Amino acid sequence: MKFEGEHLLPGQIGHFFVILSFVAAIIATISFFKASRVVDLTEKQNWLKTARLSFYLQVAGGFVIFGCILYICSNHLFEYMYAYKHASLELEYKYLLSCIWEGQEGSFLLWTIWHGVLGIFLIKKSREWEAPVMTVVSFAQFFLLMMILGIHFGNIKIGNSPFSLTRNEISAPIFGRANYLSFIKDGLGLNVLLRNYWMVIHPPILFLGFASTIIPFAYAYAGIQTKRYGDWVKEALPYTLMCAAILGVGIMMGGKWAYESLNFGGYWAWDPVENASLVPWLLLIAGMHTMVIYKATGHSLRASYLFAFLTFIFILYSTFLTRTGVLGDTSVHAFTEAGEDISFRIFGVLFSFKAMNALILLYLFSFTIPSLFLLAKNYKKIPTINKEENTNSREFWMYIGSLVFFLTAVFIIAKTSVPVYNKIFGTKIAPPEDIEFSYNKVIVLVAIILGFLTAIAQYLKYKTTTGKYLFKTIWLPTLIAVLIMTALVIFYPFTYHKQGAGFLGAIYVAAFAVIYSLVANAFYIWTVQKGKILKASSPVAHAGFMLMLIGILISAGNKKVISSSTVNGITLPSSGKDPMTKEVDNPRENLTLLREVPASLDDYKVTFLKDSAGNEKGRKFYKLNFQRKDKTSGKTLEQFGLEPDVYQMKDNNMSSNPDTKSYLFRDIFTYVSYALNKTGQEKDTVKFSEIKLNAGDTSFYSNGYLVLNKVVNNPIDKKYKKEPGQVALMADITVTSKEKQTFNAKPLVLVDSLGIVNIDDTVFAQNLFVRFIGIDENKKIRIGIKESNTLIDYVTIKAYVFPLINLVWIGLVIMAAGLILGMLQRGKFTKLQSGIILSLSLAFVFYMFLLANA
Amino acid sequence: MKKTHIILLLGIAALIAGLISFSADFSTYDTIGSAKEKQGKFVHIIAKLDKTHPVEYDAVKNPNYLTFYAVDSLGGKTKVVFHNSMPADLEKSERLVMKGKMGNEHFECSDILLKCPSKYKDDKQQLQNNMKEQTSMK
> What is A808-853 written as a DSSP string?
HHHHHHHHHHHHHHHHHHHS---HHHHHHHHHHHHHHHHIIIIITT
Predicted confidence band at A28 (pLDDT cuts at 50, 70, 90)?
A: very high
Calpha distance A24→A141 (Å, rounded): 10
Q: Which pLDDT belongs to residue A714? A: 76
For A424-447, what is the mean pLDDT?
A: 84
3-state SS assignment for residue A78: coil
**Closest residue of B to A329, CA-based?**
B97
Helices (H), A298-384: 301-323, 347-377
Predicted confidence band at A332 (pLDDT cuts at 50, 70, 90)?
A: low
For A416-444, what is the mean pLDDT?
A: 84
- Which helix (H) or strand (E) element contains residue B107? strand B107-115
Do A496 and A558 contact (CB within 8 A), yes or no? yes
Pick the range with the lowest mean pLDDT from A304-313, A698-707, A762-771: A762-771
- Residue A337 burial class via C-beta count within 10 angstroms: exposed 0-12, middle 13-18, buried 19 and up: buried
In this predicted model, what pLDDT tens digit does every residue of A594-604 receive, in sequence order? Answer: 787 788 887 88
End-to-end CA distance of chain B, in Å? Answer: 81
**Closest residue of A to B130, CA-based?**
A188
The reply to whether residue B18 touches residue A414, judged by beta carbons under 8 angstroms, is: no
Q: Across chain A, what does the average pLDDT equal? A: 84
Whether residue A470 is predicted with pLDDT greater than 50 in this model: the reply is yes
End-to-end CA distance of chain A, in Å? Answer: 56
The reply to whether residue A343 touches residue B29, judged by beta carbons under 8 angstroms, is: no
Whether residue B61 is predicted with pLDDT greater than 90 in this model: the reply is no
Q: Which pLDDT belongs to residue A596? A: 78
Calpha distance A563→A582 (Å, rounded): 18
The reply to whether residue A429 touches residue B26, judged by beta carbons under 8 angstroms, is: yes
- The sign of the CA dihedral A121, A122, A126, A130 is negative
Single-letter residue type at A309: F
Q: What is the 3-state secondary structure (H, E, C) of A313-334?
A: HHHHHHHHHHHCCCCHHHCCCH
Query: Chain B contacts of A650, Cβ < 8 Å?
Result: none
Query: Of A404, A653, A675, which is closest to B118 when you measure between CB atoms?
Result: A653
Buried b or exposed e, range A121-148, using 16+ CB within 10 angstroms: ebbeebeebbbbbbbbbbbbbbbbbbbb
**Closest residue of B to A791, CA-based?**
B60
What is the number of residues in chain A? 854
Nearest CA distance, A657 vs chain B (angstrom):
13
Instruction: Give the right CATH number for B28-119 from 2.40.50.100, 3.10.310.30, 2.60.40.1230, 2.40.50.140.
Output: 2.40.50.140
The reply to whether residue A411 touches residue B19, judged by beta carbons under 8 angstroms, is: yes
Whether residue A80 is predicted with pLDDT greater than 70 in this model: the reply is yes
The reply to whether residue A399 touches residue B116, judged by beta carbons under 8 angstroms, is: no
Domain residue ranges in chain A? 1-195, 565-570+590-676+795-800, 689-792
In this predicted model, what pLDDT tens digit does every residue of A551-602 receive, in sequence order? Answer: 888 887 777 788 765 544 333 333 334 333 334 444 577 888 878 778 888 7
Q: Which pLDDT belongs to residue A123? A: 96
Calpha distance B66→B81 (Å, rounded): 6
**Closest residue of A to B91, CA-based?**
A652
Predicted confidence band at A718 (pLDDT cuts at 50, 70, 90)?
A: low
The reply to whether residue A792 touches residue B60, judged by beta carbons under 8 angstroms, is: yes
**Residues with Cβ within 8 Å of residue A641, at least 6 apart in sequence:** A609, A623, A624, A625, A626
For A254-258, what is the mean pLDDT?
A: 87
More confident residue, A543 or A461: A543
In this predicted model, what pLDDT tens digit does every residue of A746-801 receive, in sequence order? Answer: 888 887 777 777 788 887 777 788 888 888 888 888 888 887 666 567 788 888 88
Query: Of A329, A673, A794, which is closest to B85 when you measure between CB atoms?
Result: A673
Q: Which pLDDT belongs to residue A328? A: 66
Single-letter residue type at A695: A
Nearest CA distance, A62 vs chain B (angstrom):
24
Angle at which helix A232-261 crosses helix A272-297, to 10 degrees, equals 150
Nearest CA distance, B48 vs chain A (angstrom):
14
Q: Which pLDDT belongs to residue B123? A: 65
Q: Which pLDDT belongs to residue A45? A: 94
The reply to whether residue B19 touches residue A343, judged by beta carbons under 8 angstroms, is: no
Q: Which pLDDT belongs to residue A587? A: 53
For A147-152, what is the mean pLDDT?
A: 88
* pTM of structure: 0.85
Pick the range with the lowest mean pLDDT from A213-227, A361-375, A515-529, B120-134: B120-134
Nearest CA distance, A338 vs chain B (angstrom):
6
Predicted confidence band at B2 (pLDDT cuts at 50, 70, 90)?
A: confident
In this predicted model, what pLDDT tens digit does every residue of A264-288 receive, in sequence order? Answer: 667 888 888 889 999 999 999 999 9
Do A600 and A611 contact (CB within 8 A), yes or no? no
Nearest CA distance, A607 vs chain B (angstrom):
15
Pairing of strands B107-115, B77-82: parallel
The reply to whether residue A588 touches residue B15, judged by beta carbons under 8 angstroms, is: no
Calpha distance A148→A167 (Å, rounded): 19
The reply to whether residue B115 touches residue A329, judged by beta carbons under 8 angstroms, is: yes
Domain residue ranges in chain B? 28-119
| Cα-to-chain-centroid distance, residue A225 | 38
Dihedral angle over CA of A271, A277, A278, A284, nearest 10: 170
DSSP-based helix, strand, coil % in chain B, nearest 5: 30, 30, 35
Pick the range with the lowest mean pLDDT from A69-83, A412-426, A766-780, A797-811: A766-780
The reply to whether residue A329 touches residue B42, judged by beta carbons under 8 angstroms, is: no
DSSP for A596-657, please give it.
Answer: T--EEETTEEEEEEEEEE-SSTTEEEEEEEEEEE-TTT--EEEEEEE--EEEE-TTS-EEEE
More confident residue, A630 or A343: A630
ipTM value of the model?
0.83
Other beta carbons within 10 Å of A569: 7
Q: Which pLDDT belongs to residue A583? A: 41
Nearest CA distance, B55 vs chain A (angstrom):
15
For A148-167, what is the mean pLDDT?
A: 84
Q: Which pLDDT belongs to residue A671? A: 85
**Closest residue of B to A675, CA-based?**
B88
Query: Chain A contacts of B121, Cβ < 8 Å?
Result: 85-86, 103, 188, 191, 335
Whether residue A22 is predicted with pLDDT greater than 90 in this model: the reply is yes
Nearest CA distance, B51 vs chain A (angstrom):
17
Do B46 and B72 contact (CB within 8 A), yes or no? yes
Judged by phi (left if over 0) then psi (alpha if -120 to 50, else beta), residue A831 lies in: alpha
For A27-33, what is the mean pLDDT?
A: 97
Whether residue A536 is predicted with pLDDT greater than 50 in this model: the reply is yes
More confident residue, A443 or B17: A443
Query: Chain B contacts of A101, Cβ < 8 Å?
Result: none
Query: Of A104, A586, A652, which is closest to B89 when you measure between CB atoms?
Result: A652
Pick the range with the lowest mean pLDDT from A166-175, A200-209, A250-259: A166-175
The reply to whether residue B3 touches residue A565, judged by beta carbons under 8 angstroms, is: no
